[in-house]
Structure 1
Amino acid sequence: MSARFVELDWSETGMGVISLRRRVEPSLNVDVYEVKLDDEFLMSSLFTVAEVELARLGLAQAVDADLDVVVGGLGLGYTAQTALKDPRIRSLVVVEALAEVIGWHQRALLPDTAELVSDSRVRLKRGDFFAMADSAAGFDPEAPGRRFHAVLLDIDHTPRHVLHPSHRAFYTPAGLEKLGAHLHPGGVFALWSDDPPDPDFESVLATVFDRSEASVVRFPNPLTGGYSTNTVYVAS
């Protein structure tokens, strides 16, 4: 077991101060990796079920034999890692706004997802996912206009609770229409949210995509002794 608490990295960014820390969770006697933006917790290795389900539920709706996939938001890497377990994955572009987060993986600070940087199918790209979605060039600077079979997004807390005001336009019919232009016919968009299903956002999805559904992901919370829930939206 490692030291009780270690701050592994700390950086000032345009979005605030981002930090990665490792601590021992005494109730489980395990190492926990946590990310904070200023004083707000963004993610924890103690709660990864919904990140895994984002990839699993999203790719379950993909119909092609070979898949080119975008993951919006690298974070601790669990969504990308789960996606790579699908044998159909041909390529995976992970778009991350903060170079510091990419650096955590390149420096092997996160042992649970260390294989991401060595997998030949993966490219970690620094960029603004929302600006890329809004552009004609899209998510692959080396192949402008390239289309993908699935986009898996885990950046904002919810469609209403965004990390930056510039993200809000994405969650509108116009924003999602632009995202759809980067998908192959029949392509899939999947989104993680920290809130229960939002009927207003479900209506937005229904105006843009042929099919959409919201799945509640329930998982044990060892800190409370009960259960917590997140939502995964999947549209195609």
Structure 2
Amino acid sequence: MSPRFEELAWRATPLGEISLRRRRDPSLGVEVYEVKLDDEYLMSSLFPVAEIELARLGLAALPDPRLEVVVGGLGLGYTARTALDDDRVSELLVVETVEDVIDWHRRGLLPFAAGLAEDPRTRFVHADFFASVAGDAGLDPDTPGRRFHAVLLDVDHSPRHVLHPGHAPFYTADGLRRLARLLHPGGVFALWSDDPPDADFTQTLAGVFATARAHVVPFANPLTGGDSANTVYVATT
């Protein structure tokens, strides 16, 4: 039997102290994996629905038979793992700023993301997603300026609640235009948010992209016994 609580990994990073924890929830009878940044919870395996829908909703908006996809922010791996379930995905570039998070997956610490690191379509890039978009080289360090069919982003809590002040310029019209130049015509930018739909941000998206929509993703919350919801924004060039 696994211990009731175990800290699987810990590291000081430029964003703060990040840790991966596993605990046994006796009331639910399940093992829960959680990521914390300092004292703040970033993600939990109890609530993966919206991270999964980020990939499903984003890729569903694409008609292409072959897709080259970027996931910004690896975390527990739900978005990346779900993207690989789409047979059209020929390459998945995962851009993650914390090298230790990549190592969690390579070491197999997250059983529900099994196969992600071993899939030949997956390539991990240790880089700051936001700095890469703002720079001249783009998201693929091996191919400067490369374009993709989809970029799926899950790093900040929301466009207004960012983990680092340096991320904020990305969510402006200028920042989103820089992202749009890295997408093929008809390409998709999809974004996870912990906040309800933000009309001002949706309007900013609509000013840069051809289409923009905020999807409310409800899910059962086993901690409250009720329902909660996240938002997934989907925009197309």
Same-fold status (TM-score > 0.5): yes
SS of the residue 1:116 aligns to: coil
C-alpha distance in structure 2 between counterparts of 1:90 and 1:13, whole Å: 32
One-letter amino acid matched to 1:95: V
Paired with 2:11 and 2:132, the residues of 1 have a C-alpha distance of 24
Hey, what's the Cα distance between the residues in 1 that align with 2:67 and 2:223? 37
Q: Per-residue deviation at 1:136?
A: 2.3
Give the match for residue 202 of structure 2. 202
Q: CA deviation at 1:27?
A: 1.7
| RMSD after superposition | 0.7
Distance in 2 separating the partners of 1:19 and 1:60: 33
Q: Which amino acid aligns with 2:58?
A: G
Deviating beyond 2 angstroms after TM superposition, the runs of 4 or more aligned structure 1 residues are: none
- How big is the shift at 1:67? 0.2
Task: Compare 120-129 and 136-145 and name the one that shifted more.
Answer: 136-145
TM-score w.r.t. the length of structure 2 is 0.98
Any idea what the Cα deviations from partners look like across 1:168-188, whole Å, max 9, x if unmatched? 000000000000000000000
Counterpart for residue 75 of structure 1: 75
CA–CA separation in structure 1 for the residues paired with 2:9 and 2:131: 27
What is the match of residue 118 of structure 2?
Answer: 118
Deviations 1:184-217 (A, max 9, x none): 0000000000000001101100100010100000
Say which SS state the counterpart of residue 62 (structure 1) adopts. coil
1:166 maps to what in 2?
Answer: 166
- The equivalent residue for 2:189 is 189
1:33 aligns with 2:45: no
In structure 1, C-alpha distance between the alignment counterparts of 2:216 and 2:26, rounded to whole Å = 29
Task: Give the aligned partner of residue 10 of structure 1.
Answer: 10
Measured in 2, the distance between the counterparts of 1:19 and 1:214 equals 31
Who is 2:90 aligned against?
90
1:114 deviates by 2.1
For 1:119 and 1:212, how far apart are their aligned partners in 2?
31
Distance 1:191 1:145 in 2: 21
Q: Deviations over 1:118-166 (max 9, x none)?
A: 0000001100000111122111111111100000000000000000000
Is there any run of 5+ residues in structure 2 with no aligned partner, and where? none
- Greater Cα shift, 129-138 or 194-203: 129-138
Aligned amino acid, residue 172 of structure 1? T
Distance in 1, Cα, partners of 2:174 & 2:14: 26
Amino acid at match of 1:2: S
Distance 2:33 2:45 in 1: 5
The percent identity for this pair of structures is 66
Q: Distance in 1 between matches of 2:199 and 2:120?
A: 40
